[in-house]
Structure 1
Amino acid sequence: MTAPALRPGGRSARVQESIHSAVRELLEEQDRATVTVPQIAARAGVTPSTIYRRWGDLSALLADVALARLQPDSESPRTGSLAGDLRAWAEQYLDEMSSAPGRCMLRDVQASLKPSYCATIIGGQLQAIVDRYPNEASPGVDRLINMIAAPIVFRILFSETPMAVEEVHRLIEIALNP
């Protein structure tokens, strides 16, 4: 079951934001495994049935909050070159997603009914960077995802240590060379 499309404003948006805020606050205060729908509902000022009606279960709600957090708050840094912008984006992405909250977020998204949404978000971020440099040859967003983002995510999810920044830089160089 997927969450229904919500109107961009009004009561529905306020309720969703209240629930999302409650989830974020509880995840900062306690271990993820101990967070419950009744706790979230009490913190958000809604009934548990409101949460179940919109999201179906706790894992779908956690995934929805994680997906919302993946949306960037601001534009990625501008360095003056495609390679520089990609390095800045990749370093920030590696740092954020390698953190304990970032790892949990990636796992929640992976468990969601729409894990491909993560690739859509990352693809949009990378496309925005590529679009800044229309006169530079670009390998295309799919290649950037495959060569930069995918190895970062793989190491975060399936390795004890995240990828080294130097390795990320090397992958960017490879991705930019045909």
Structure 2
Amino acid sequence: MAIKEGIRTGGRSARVQESVHAAVRALLQEQERDSLTVPLIASRAGVTPSTIYRRWGELAALLADVSLARLRPDSAPADTGTLRNDLLAWAEQYLDEMNSEPGRNMMRDFIASGCSSQCATVLRGQLQTILARAVKRGEPAPDADHLLNLIVAPVVYRILFAESAPSLEHMHELVNLSLRR
């Protein structure tokens, strides 16, 4: 089940969401994620399990929603002055975050909940910010989906399914490949 859209942003709804998200984050600090249950989270958040089921449908969707909130950036990607260097800085940070245990769990949450497209939307937005700056500077720039295909997809595959995550050097090769015309 996907994360439900159209949830009001304010009042009780926002308080419930923040309370449940905070409960999940706190519980993940205290215990193994396999031990998390909707009733446990509800108890910590001060809501009923039915509130969680009504809003998120299932535990996997709730975990993906918490991960999605973490994935959303607090600020724009670094502006280093060139498209290549902006992409390198962004890609290095992305590799570092996704190759961590929380990052791997985040990717698994998205896959398990069917919410991968929302993750792609956040990543596409970050890349579009970088690309818009490049265009403004007069640099030729590919589109964001091209970068998702040539940078993000190989990283996700290697982290989740290969023997080892890509190296920093491999990440640089992916960025360079994505910029070839």
Superposition TM-score tier, normalisation by shorter sequence: over 0.9
Match of 2:69 in 1: 68
Q: Distance in 2 between matches of 1:133 and 1:93?
A: 19
Q: Distance in 2 between matches of 1:159 and 1:28?
A: 28
Q: CA deviation at 1:113?
A: 2.8
1:166 lines up with 2:166 in the alignment: no
Match of 1:27 in 2: 28
Match of 2:146 in 1: 143
1:122-152 per-residue CA deviation (whole Å, 9 max, x = no partner) reads 1111010010111101121111111111111
Asked if 2 retains the 8 angstrom alpha-carbon contact of 1:4 and 1:54, the reply is: no
Q: Distance in 1 between matches of 2:118 and 2:163?
A: 25
Unaligned runs of 5+ in 2: none
Q: Distance in 1 between matches of 2:18 and 2:93?
A: 26
Q: TM-score, normalised by structure 2?
A: 0.94
Q: Distance in 2 between matches of 1:101 and 1:155?
A: 16
Asked if 1 retains the 8 angstrom alpha-carbon contact of 2:79 and 2:86, the reply is: yes
Secondary structure in 2 aligned to 1:171? Answer: helix
Asked if 1 retains the 8 angstrom alpha-carbon contact of 2:61 and 2:115, the reply is: no
Q: CA deviation at 1:4?
A: 4.9
Match of 2:38 in 1: 37
Distance change (3 Å), C-alpha of 1:4 and 1:125: closer
Q: CA deviation at 1:160?
A: 3.6
Question: Cα RMSD between the aligned structures?
Answer: 1.2
Unaligned runs of 5+ in 1: none
Aligned residues: 178
Q: Distance in 2 between matches of 1:69 and 1:139?
A: 27
1:79-103 per-residue CA deviation (whole Å, 9 max, x = no partner) reads 1110000000000000001000110
